[in-house]
Structures are given as structure tokens and as C-alpha cells.
Structure 1
Amino acid sequence: MKVTDRQKKKFLQSLKQARIEAGLTQSEVARKIGKSQSFISKVELGITSLEVEVFLRLYQLYDKPAAYFFSAFSPK
């Protein structure tokens, strides 16, 4: 399956929105998962690839269902 730019953008928007809804800043998230604030920023902007292990930490931290993040890849 090829990931389109639109799907990637929607996925990254869901990551940022989940962080905001959790009431966390990029700096707070970075501290909680052992990364830098600039790393979180680069992930949210799509500059840095998101490793599975990091995504799982974010997933647990943001406390959202998997569908929240992966709806970007659902067929229309």
C-alpha cells in the first residue's frame, strides 16, 4: 500500500490534535517519552519519520483509540 501525501498529512494532524486534546505541549510530551521538543515538532511536521516504538509511547500518552490515528488510511 502506498501512503499518499494526503493520508500522511491527515495522520500527522491527528498526532498533533491528540497532543493538544491531551493538554500537553511539545516540550511536555518530549520529556515524558525521552525525546527533545524539536524531535516532536519535526514528527508533527512530517520532517522526521515516526518509529513504531515512539508512536506506541505517544498512543499510550494521548489515550486515543487506534482508529483516531489510522482513519487517515481508511478507504473512502
Structure 2
Amino acid sequence: MNCPRCDSTNIEKGVTIGKSAETGNVGPKFSIGIFSGVAQMYCDICLNCGEIIRFFIKENTDKKWIKTPGSLGSK
């Protein structure tokens, strides 16, 4: 895999992305009955220029993904 920005192959793969933030959890949201969950996200980073090359999850993708915004006033 090459970096699309600088063409380096010095890529760190599978770096964990923190999930907590002031407004709640960060990541793809899914429904579990009346509750919701957030999938742990990972990324690949170019160690030469800092470009984040891709985001991904490792867990099962067969979920009921929530596609509507979650905060009040959002469209």
C-alpha cells in the first residue's frame, strides 16, 4: 500500500482510534434492540507525512447501522 499523498510505503496499519469524546462515542453507530452501540474504528497512517489512508472496523458488519444524525438540531 502506498500513501496517496507522498507515495511512501512507510504505513502503520491497524492503529486504534479512540472512541470517547465530550459529546459521546465516536464511530459508526448501530442499533441493538432499544439500545445503540458504536463500532471500534481503526486506521492506516503514513508515517512519513501523517496522512490517514483509510478508516475501517474489524468486527462483524452484519448490524443494523444507524444512518440518521444523532444530535438535536442536526439535519
TM-score, normalised by the number of residues in structure 1:
0.24
Compare relative contact order (CA 8 Å, sep 6+) and give the higher one, 1 or 2. 1
**Greater Cα radius of gyration, structure 1 or 2:** 2
Question: Greater share of strand residues, 1 or 2?
Answer: 2
More helix by share: 1
